[in-house]
Amino acid sequence: MSRRLALAIIVWLGVGAVVGHGFFDVLVTRGEKHYLLSQARAELGLAEPVTLDGVMRRTIRDALKVAVIWGGLVAGAGIVSALVLERSGRQPRLRG
């Protein structure tokens, strides 16, 4: 494996991690808002009370699944493209 390919793989793993973290953060924030809305509705007598633990356990579990899937897809697509370029022997052209 060339140094160039190894660097590309490391970069794509990092990009995948950033994408996964972004999805996780957005979904956990959404779960927090869902808890607050549910709690407010319960205080008004419009819904059953919920617990923070119950809402956030489910939220974190689901957010982790989505984050791993999307981060893996992005990293995987980038790594595959780097492998294809490496095997073809072509150098990507940068404009500028």
pTM across the whole model: 0.80
Distance separating alpha carbons of residues 76 and 51, to the nearest angstrom: 37
Question: Along the 96 residues of the chain, how does pLDDT read in single tens digits?
Answer: 789 999 999 999 999 999 999 999 999 999 999 999 999 999 999 999 999 999 999 999 999 999 999 999 999 999 999 999 888 876 666 676
pLDDT confidence of residue 92: 62
Listed by start position, the domains of the chain span 3-88
pLDDT confidence of residue 84: 92
* Tokens standing for residue 51: 């617990």
Burial of 54 (0-12, 13-18, 19+ CB in 10 A): exposed
pLDDT confidence of residue 1: 79
Contact call for residues 62 and 16 (beta carbons, < 8 A): no
Which residue, among 71, 44, 80, 54, has the nearest Cα to 88 in the 3D structure?
80
User: What are the distances in angstroms from CA 65 to CA 35, 38, 52, 59, 62?
Assistant: 20, 23, 20, 10, 5
pLDDT confidence of residue 48: 93
